[in-house]
Amino acid sequence: MIEASKDGGKTGVITYGMVGGGEGSFIGDVHRRAIGLDGKAVLTAGCFSRESAKTLAAGEALHLDNERLYVSYKEMAEVEGKREDGIDFVSIVTPNNSHFQIAKTFLQNGINVACDKPLTTNAEEAEELAALAAEKDLLFCVTYTYTGYPAVKQAKEMIKQGEIGDIRFVNAEYPQEWLAEPIEKDPNNKQAVWRTDPAQSGISNCVGDIGSHVENLVSYITGLEIDTLCARLDKIVEGRVLDDNATIMVNYRGGTTGVYWSSQIAAGHDNDLSIRVYGSKGSLVWKQENPNYLKVTFLDKPIQTLSRGRDSFYPRASSICRTPAGHPEGYFEAFGTIYTTFIGAVAKKKAGETLTPDDMDFPTPREGAQGVRFIEKCVESSEKGAIWIKF
């Protein structure tokens, strides 16, 4: 990854700070590596922990200047917002319950924001952040990773161009096995502890963590808007407070229907996110664990497998391919694409240039608020006996 030098970084390069992501943080390291992948931004400031000693240790390991290490995110936002060489954006990689206040504080200090998902723990706060970003004329990215894959962008454009006809049915799922046992009882397993704790995770675990990815991926690829949904959220592992398995039926505006499944107790599955879109002329299938390939089927024609790097993709999808065919591009590259697009938009806006639709091809607070609303509606439906409710 690219890190700042002791003199504060390279002149002319976009700079960023990070809140959270200290020692032992999986997602913080992922964000830093993704940002550094294309060399477009330099880490120059941070508040990596609520404990100042841990922030100092993380900053030293990342070769940051001590004066750009802060005891609180509030101090960081205020100081960096006033510095002539202050950060261009902040990356927020803390537990869900803290996203709102941290993002709001940086926006109020004139700093662009990139935030891990879900954006907040309730839709009202998410919509407030979206409105504040618009009011301050600041860019805001919500890091829904899976829209960063070239094959996903190819699927989106194929549907937009009407290649598979009118969409009739959507099936999407995201099964994992990592919470098949009550590993949150081990206090050293910090990831499991906070994700299953409603005080930190919010009202949902499974839907909030991975079901929200399903909703975002379907929305991005198809452009469909949910009209009503019926959700059953299960708490399968004994003693678990939040859901670890969810089945969701969806009616979209216009008459299309769909079924989502997300699970963290599905033995044999790692990160098995997949989407199947069935249209009047054909279908598309994409699987995250084999992300360089898109299965395409047209009526009365042989099944095709489009290969990233080998086959002709639409311009936007082709533009983000980094390696030749047969050299896999995966999670880091997709994450990197989200960040590189966002950083490019920050750089162009900073230079006073006009942003294009491709420049803005990253998840915004609008998608973030929609994802939080999806979580809330799923919980509401389930608590009322798995009834159909208006989205």
pLDDT at 6 over 80: no
DSSP H or E stretch at residue 78: helix 73-82
pTM of the model: 0.93
pLDDT at 8 over 80: no
CA pair distance 205, 182, nearest whole angstrom: 13
Model confidence over 337-373: pLDDT tens digits?
Answer: 999 999 999 999 999 999 999 999 999 999 999 999 9
Model confidence over 192-248: pLDDT tens digits?
Answer: 999 999 999 999 999 999 999 999 999 999 999 999 999 999 999 999 999 999 999
Looking at this protein, which amino acid is placed at residue 250? V
pLDDT at res. 147: 97
Q: Is residue 281 one of the residues assigned to a domain?
A: yes
3-state DSSP helix/strand/coil percent for the chain, to nearest 5? 40, 20, 40
Q: Is residue 153 one of the residues assigned to a domain?
A: yes
pLDDT at res. 26: 85
Q: How far is CA 28 from CA 276, 344, 346, in A?
A: 31, 21, 21
What per-residue string of b and e applies to 163-193 under the rule 16 or more CB within 10 Å gives b? ebeebeebbbbbbbbbbbeeebeeeeeebbb
Domain residues for the domain of 291 are 149-322+364-383
Average pLDDT over residues 282-297: 98
Contact assessment for residue 207 and residue 243, using Cβ atoms and an 8 Å cutoff: yes
Q: How many independent structural domains does the chain possess? A: 1
Q: Is residue 315 one of the residues assigned to a domain?
A: yes
pLDDT at 9 over 70: no
CATH number of the CATH domain containing 287: 3.30.360.10
DSSP-derived 3-state class of residue 112: strand
Q: Can you read off the two tokens belonging to residue 101?
A: 């206040």
Q: Is residue 260 one of the residues assigned to a domain?
A: yes
- Partners of 257 in the β-ladder: 169, 251
Directed axis angle between helix 123-136 and helix 99-108, to 10°? Answer: 10
Contact assessment for residue 216 and residue 364, using Cβ atoms and an 8 Å cutoff: no
CA pair distance 286, 290, nearest whole angstrom: 8
pLDDT at res. 7: 42
First to last CA, the chain: 41
Q: In angstroms, how far apart are the furthest CA atoms of the chain?
A: 66
DSSP-derived 3-state class of residue 107: helix
pLDDT at res. 343: 98
pLDDT at res. 12: 66
Average pLDDT over residues 274-303: 97
* Whole-number CA gyration radius for the chain: 21
Q: Is residue 33 one of the residues assigned to a domain?
A: no
What residues contact 223, with CB distance under 8 A and at least 6 apart?
Answer: 156, 159, 160
Q: Is residue 328 one of the residues assigned to a domain?
A: no
What are phi and psi for residue 57, nearest 5 degrees?
A: -65, -45
Average pLDDT in the chain: 95
Contact assessment for residue 214 and residue 171, using Cβ atoms and an 8 Å cutoff: no
What per-residue string of b and e applies to 344-362 under the rule 16 or more CB within 10 Å gives b? bbbbebeeeeeeeeebebb
CA pair distance 251, 225, nearest whole angstrom: 9
Give the percent of the chain with pLDDT over 70. Answer: 97
Q: Is residue 253 one of the residues assigned to a domain?
A: yes
Model confidence over 149-207: pLDDT tens digits?
Answer: 999 999 999 999 999 999 999 999 999 999 999 999 999 998 899 999 999 999 999 99
Contact assessment for residue 362 and residue 338, using Cβ atoms and an 8 Å cutoff: yes
CA pair distance 211, 208, nearest whole angstrom: 6
Lay out the sheet containing 14-20: strands in order across. 41-47, 14-20, 89-93, 112-115, 140-142
pLDDT at res. 2: 44
pLDDT at res. 24: 75
Model confidence over 14-62: pLDDT tens digits?
Answer: 999 999 998 878 889 999 999 999 999 999 999 999 999 999 999 999 9
Q: Is residue 352 one of the residues assigned to a domain?
A: no
Strands 167-175 and 274-279 come out as antiparallel
Q: How many CB atoms lie within 10 A of CB 256?
A: 20
